[in-house]
Amino acid sequence: MVRHLHGVLYVFIITFSLIHLVQAQDQKGFITLDCGLLPDGSPYTDPSTGLTFTSDASFVESGKNGRVDKDSERNFEKAFVTLRYFPEGQRNCYNVKVTQGTKYLIRASFFYGNYDGRNIIPNFDLFLGPNKWTTVNLSATVPGGQYREIIHMSKLSSLQICLVKKGTTTPMISTLELRPMRSDIYISDTGSSLQFLSRTYLKGSGSILRYPDDVYDRRWFPMVEKEWTIVTSTLNVNTSNGFDPPQSAMASAATYVNVNGTWDIPWTIDDSITRFHIYLHFAEIQTLLPNETREFIVFLNGNEFSEPFSPKKLSIETLNTRPESTLRCQRGACLLQLVKTTKSTLPPLLNAMEIFTVVELPQSETNQQEVVAIKKIQIAYGLSRVSWQGDPCVPKEFLWAGLNCNNTDIYTPPTITSFICTHKFFGLSTVMDTLFLSIPRDLSNNELTGVVPEFLADMKSLFIINLSGNNLSGQVPQKLLQKKGLKLNVEGNPNLSCTERPCVNKPRETGHAKKSITVPVVASVASMVIIATALVTFFVLKRKKSSNNREKGRTPRSEPPRITKKKRFTYAEVTEMTNNFEKILGKGGFGMVYHGYLNGTEQVAVKVVSQGSVHGHKQFKAEVDLLLRVHHKNLVGLVGYCEKGKDLVLVYEYMSNGDLKELLSGKPHTSVLRWGTRLKIAVDSAQGLEYLYKGCRPAIVHRDVKTANILLDENFQAKIADFGLSKSFPNDGESHVSTVVAGTLGYLDPEYYQTNWLTEKSDVYSFGVVLLEIITNLPVIDQHRETPYIAEWVGVMVTKGDIKNIIDPRLKDDYHSDSVWKFVELAMACVDASSASRPTMSQVVIELIECLTLENSRGGRSCDMESRGSREVTMTFGTEVNPAAR
């Protein structure tokens, strides 16, 4: 929200008294919580927006209901009258079920309203899962409240929003709202989200626009400066471009006329290290005369942000920063400039804009299998500990009581290494229902009581049970005694009867009786079982392989790909979309690739598997399996597939700029790729590969990384393609898989070639070769070179200090020398003969981003924030709000 416009105070007030008829619209996926509302008052419909509010009682395990004081209540809308506050514990969390892989607008509002009669304004932190999102400091606002909003991609099927106590004040919250959004808008780089800073539409006066005017329930604030000229239109503006701002926002715009044709719009952010993203929405809403032209260039902080640009007539166009943008503002002072071109007769025009800051969320959540497991214990035994909220392992200062965790690095999901439990911890004394978890083998000497349950015999993966040294009673079930391959030890249970020979049962030696028994529970990714008695009875599960397979050296048959029906096309549909396979785009690894149109409008690439291909069907299955379960902006998207007998077809998103190999080759109709573009392609590709290894469980190795498998869209965004040879590790957490050598000569990891061990570093080696191709534009293997292999040849050149001969001469010295050297050093580290000496793909991404940052800094100029004229405005954005009277 704008607080100041060159001395003019604009306080935008949150109010839901919008005067318009609320039409019924789909609120599917909306989560709208009135925090502190009693369940018997839920749900209710807000009359001004039509939004349905529900109680938060089922979304949070702690906290108390509060209500603002009478004076505040008269001024607040219903949703802000009640609240939830958290006087106990340091971290209290909302647990919201969401759709995995879906992008959400998350908004939390905080209205203190002197609910506790103490007039002590709260100050606390807000977390998304294990990562800090922001600080809520109500004392820094005008009386009333504020809200925080972020656009965040959910990696899991649940989202934890936590209020964390900082000092002596008590965290509180008024409303919590989640709105699902399209995945192809508001894209941020890996491990980060976009925090709302400002969302404005340029109009002299108007209401705060939100749902139902805005399908995503974003809040748009009107903004104007006295020297701007506001223009409006009563005609309908086509706002459908994915961002879909409200019609009312795009039917209004501002222009600004001055002598030099430059329109400056400055604003400030907290500091100079904060990155930001900006989205500018344009539509020409004036009727231009035949001799009139509107054209301008957009600059950000003095750097060109767009080519010469003319808004479309009554149709939206959005200019926005790239996901990996590193835009920052010197001393926190930012500047947007719209500069009129010489051919333009009209001043620049702007309808609406949004500004976000980048919030880094690097810490991975705890391994979800183990989170599910530990929560089953919590539910089964009614554990209501305040400390058992949020992520069990991270951050470390909020580690759940009784747990120990293994945190290797922030990018790897932590695992639970031990769970310390005593009878005092659980307070149980009878056998309870069985839970399936990852736990240890030895359950001896734990003073367990009760009977041995018969259902253990039905557990196929259970092969060891050690119940010795306990107080179990009754008869060991015959079904359990007759289970083949099971090793059962019940020695030292004097009241337990056992009639079969496999059962070992000797009287327990007397000794010092335990008063407080501690059971370490070692967690792993393998499946496990827990049985509760006086404390908890723990059983270990281990996956059992077929003895026949072990003897004959066979591996278990792989599962069929998880194919969804909505992705499946008939062969007739494929024929129609390709116009009977009319236009050939190229030849893939195992078939021809054709150009097509889906629904007559959306371009697609259609790969038809050659019926003569020996491994075509196997690779088809592997690719469909992978692409239907992984999604990333730097992996080529699978639109669908066709499988009918020998007719195997894969339908991909269309990548208009082809593959990197072709672009580097300098074939006709291809221009020379600038160094900055090459770096961007390298970063995109590395992020795609990093996702396969870090973002997928179990990890995936591509196995055929090469320039021909890096595709580029119309904006030169790179995406990894061709996953027919990809290989998943059998179990999560394993570092390698033994497999036959496959890939492309010249790109193959020498260690993989020699040992048949495939690891993440195998892809790192292949990608290192790609990096060498990017900078040299030379063939990977050239028998005419003294050293045919590119890695060896570049190594010789580096030893000589001959960087000039390495770099593609077509770049013509148009690059930052430090960026180039850093790039070459990284590439050579990737192709090190020893995999242990190579960087990880995550390290590669970081190094490449540094290369890109160096290149972007070349020739840039900082803007002098003190030299602007008196007519320029300064904007400070924040999220403070002040509720108005009804």
Which two structure tokens, joined as six digits, stand for 542? 């281990």
Catalogue the long-range contacts made by 713-718 (C-beta closer than 8 Å, 24 or more residues apart). 713/655, 713/656, 713/657, 714/656, 714/657, 716/657, 716/677, 716/680, 716/681, 717/633, 717/634, 717/684, 718/634, 718/660, 718/680, 718/681, 718/682, 718/684, 718/685, 718/688
d(CA 760, CA 699): 9
Strand partners, 110: 146
Per-residue tokens: 358: 């980048």
Rounded Cα gap, residues 92 and 73, in angstroms = 26
CA-to-CA separations, 101 to 140, 152, 192, 280, 360, in angstroms, rounded: 35, 10, 14, 26, 18
**Per-residue DSSP letters for 260-287?**
T-EEEEEEE-S-TT--EEEEEEE-B-S-
> Given phi > 0 = left and psi -120 to 50 = alpha, else beta, which region is 534?
alpha
The span from the CA of 141 to the CA of 138, in Å, is: 5
522's tokens = 């070692």
Checking DSSP bridges between strand 192-202 and strand 221-223, what pairing results, if any?
Answer: parallel
Which pair of structure tokens corresponds to residue 325? 């943008």
Kindly compute the dihedral angle of the four CA atoms of residues 105, 110, 111, 116, in this order, to the nearest 10 degrees.
150
CA distance 267 to 337: 11
Q: What are the structure tokens assigned to 564, written together?
A: 């969804």
Are the C-beta atoms of 826 and 851 separated by less than 8 Å? Answer: yes
Per the annotation, the verdict on 433 as an active-site residue is: no
H/E stretch holding 598 reads: strand 591-598
Is the separation of the CB atoms in 432 and 521 below 8 Å?
no
Q: Is 583 annotated as a binding residue?
A: no
Bridge partners of 105, per DSSP, are 151, 179
What is the C-alpha to C-alpha distance for residues 766 and 757, in angstroms, rounded to an integer?
15
438 neighbors 523 (Cβ within 8 angstroms): yes
Chain centre distance of CA 424: 40
Cα-based distances in Å from 287 to 232, 294, 313: 11, 11, 8
The CA–CA distances, whole Å, from 797 to 319, 417, 775, 803 equal: 42, 48, 13, 7
Element (H, E) at 137: strand 131-137
* Residue of 625, 704, 749, 763 marked catalytic: 704
Phi, psi of 477 (to 5 degrees): -60, 135
User: Which residues have a Cβ under 8 Å from the Cβ of 531 and sit 6 or more positions away?
Assistant: 431, 432, 434, 453, 456, 537, 538, 539
Beta bridge partners of 350: 254
Nearest residue to 650 (alpha-carbon basis) of 637, 665, 668: 637
Q: Distance from first CA to last CA of the chain, Å, rounded?
A: 21
- Look at residues 612, 668, 672, 620 and name the one whose alpha carbon lies nearest to residue 648: 620
User: Which residues fall in the annotated binding site?
Assistant: 607
Active-site residue numbers? 704
User: Which residues fall in the annotated binding site for ATP?
Assistant: 607
